Amino acid sequence: MRMNLFFHAVFLLIGTTLGAGVFALPYVFSRSGWLPSLLGIIILGTIMIVLNLFYSLIILRTDGDHQLPGYVKKYLGKKAANLSIWAMLLALNGALLAYVILGGEFLALSLGQLAGNFYRFWFCLLGFWLFWRGFKSLAKINTWLTAVLVLLMIVIPTSLVRFIRPENYILITKTPLFFWGAALFSLTSFSVIPEIEEVLRRQKYLLRPVVLAGGLLSILLYLVFGFSVWGVTGAVTTVDAFSGLVSFSPALIRWGAAMGLLALFTSFLSLANVVKEIYFRDLKLKQKWARFLAILPAGIGIFLPMGNFVGIISFISATGLVISGVLICLIFAKLKPKFKWFAWTVGLIFVLGAAAEIF
């Protein structure tokens, strides 16, 4: 029973982490270079694990069920809570937009068709239907989808090894920090920690091991996937990772697109549930209204061009995600005064990274 809960929670964390951002990694790696990208993923991944551990302690120390704005209000006051609400809604709705943009792309690729609004519409429709069924059925779906997703993220890069050429790792542009926004977006998973705590409500001591295991596995999968795709496509590495692989294996493209759909659906469903919980728990709206408002903005993604994908995820990383991360650090510093220097250091890294991304 304990092991089932552990793996169930780990898959929920990985299913949220392995979202749309992972597919932009080969592209941003090719612009930043192998050393900045390698060190960046390791450093950022470690920071995100630390942030998730901060948030886990906050949740375990606080009575009642909340999303981040609820915790911010309790420890930092109403004004900070309002800032947190808008930051989280900006970040989460931006993420849902990005998932729809990329979801239509992958749905079309998996069917051997050219992408278009028609496929984004069907991605939205299926996502909305699964989301409306509720979180209990969502958690069961996520467990199986994420297990298949992890398997595919190992199998596909392994099949690419024979196509990798060392010369493909030559830099296209000299922008070492180009990877930051997409990498931060792809590694962020703190929003689902309250749901993981809910899954582990009777075995709360498993929360920290779940955060560590899920975070480390995500870092490993990201490095393997990002560098293997870049090593194959080189200078023609595409924003969606797989379009550039058409000339190597059409069948591989379909498998890759299927992997993309799995990743996007798991993250889409998890994050839509988090948005709903903010409306329901923290803004005190009725369940039906909370669900409706959670999925409403994502429909805009049907009409946005693919070129907006990296821009969207970089923008929300430099704004909404950074603000939320800094607020978590401030709460942790208040709960653990002896370690406030550590929390402030992590928060400062977020702020400096956001400034670098913007400028």
pLDDT per position in the chain (359 positions), as tens?
566 778 878 888 887 787 677 888 999 998 888 889 999 999 999 999 999 999 999 999 998 878 888 899 999 999 999 999 888 888 888 888 888 888 888 888 887 776 667 888 888 888 888 787 765 555 566 667 677 777 777 887 888 888 888 888 877 667 888 888 888 888 988 888 988 888 888 788 889 999 999 999 999 999 998 999 899 888 888 888 777 777 777 777 777 787 778 777 777 887 788 888 888 877 888 888 888 888 888 888 787 776 677 778 888 887 888 999 999 999 999 999 999 999 999 999 888 877 777 76
| One-letter amino acid of 333 | A
Quote the crossing angle between the two packed helices 207-233 and 2-17, to the nearest 10°: 40
Distances (CA, A) of 245 to 127, 181, 194, 256: 27, 24, 38, 10
Number of folded domains in the chain? 1
Q: Can you list the alpha helix ranges (DSSP code H) found in 169-303? A: 180-187, 193-199, 207-233, 250-277, 287-295
- Domain of 81, CATH number, reads 1.20.1740.10
Quote the crossing angle between the two packed helices 180-187 and 25-32, to the nearest 10°: 150
Q: Domain residues for 61?
A: 2-358
d(CA 39, CA 217): 16
Contacts of 230 (CB under 8 A, 6+ apart): 26, 29, 30, 168, 169, 237
